[in-house]
Amino acid sequence: MQLTDRQTGQTQASESQASEPKHHTLEEYLALEEAAEFKSEFHDGEIVAVTGGSFNHNTLALNIAAFLKYALRGKAFRFFAGDVKVWIPRYRKLTYPDVMAISGEPVPYSSRTDTLTNPCLIVEILSRSTEEYDRTDKFRFYRSLDSLREYVMVDQYRLEVQQYVKTEEGFWLYRVYESLEDVIAFSAINTEMSIGEIYDGIQLEEIDAEKIDV
């Protein structure tokens, strides 16, 4: 059956509307997220599903979070890994950092117990599907937070850790680590961790597995 111009127009309009992402309020997202079986992020009205993590992704995040929590026990820092969101008001985004540290007490968004507004350190484990986003737009979103002093990206496929540190003058200094013997100084929380400890238990083609055990 051949469609008339009017019918064709209506069909194209319906298809266009169906392809457009539905716009949600922040309150709608929060209600949906509480009941959801899988995590999603809020991007200024759009709900974006968070992909599942690999063995390397999970191990790297746990290595960092566990080391920092133990090294800074008794200090005025708290650490969160994967399940606590951060609210970015300038861009109206809610994200799930892989590892996050705060100095002092958490400052929640709207009295919530699952959403923070004051991270001083954020660590993201890079995935192929999100690597470019984490290096560019996501860092731009994160650095709009007044509390943030440090952003670290850990590659799960090759031996590479990238670090941005904010100076007192407001500049971001960049450094890259590519050796197991390197030591990264987390300036936002005043502690150090070797790259070998970060990659402990990780199997990468360019790393001799026997050298990873720290």
Instruction: List pLDDT tens digits, range 77-89.
Output: 999 998 899 999 9
| Single pTM value for the model | 0.83
Same-domain check for residues 40 and 103: no
Percent of the chain with pLDDT over 90: 62
The DSSP secondary-structure symbol of 130 reads: T
Same-domain check for residues 125 and 164: yes
- When pLDDT is averaged across residues 163-169 and rounded to a whole number, the result is 97
Same-domain check for residues 7 and 70: no
- Domains held by the chain: number: 2
Distance CA 151, CA 144 (A): 12
Same-domain check for residues 138 and 203: yes
Same-domain check for residues 28 and 70: no
Instruction: List pLDDT tens digits, range 87-107.
Output: 999 999 999 999 999 999 999
Same-domain check for residues 69 and 149: yes
Same-domain check for residues 15 and 71: no
Same-domain check for residues 105 and 122: yes
* DSSP per-residue codes, 164-208: EEE-TTS-EEEEEE-STT-EEEETTTTEEEEHHHHTTT---TTS-
Range of the domain at 40: 1-50
Same-domain check for residues 63 and 114: yes
Per-residue pLDDT at 52: 67
Same-domain check for residues 191 and 85: yes
Decide: 29 and 42 in contact? Cβ < 8 Å. yes
Instruction: List pLDDT tens digits, range 196-210.
Output: 999 999 988 655 444
Same-domain check for residues 9 and 114: no
- pLDDT of residue 6 exceeding 80, the answer is no
Which CATH number characterizes residue 73's domain? 3.90.1570.10
Instruction: List pLDDT tens digits, range 22-81.
Output: 888 888 888 888 877 788 788 877 888 777 678 999 999 999 999 999 999 999 999 999
β-bridge mates for residue 34, sequence order: none
- pLDDT of residue 7 exceeding 60, the answer is no
Of 134, 64, 141, give the one whose Cα is nearest residue 101.
64
Same-domain check for residues 117 and 162: yes
Strand (E) or helix (H) holding 18: helix 5-19
Give the number of other Cβ atoms within 10 Å of residue 3's Cβ: 11
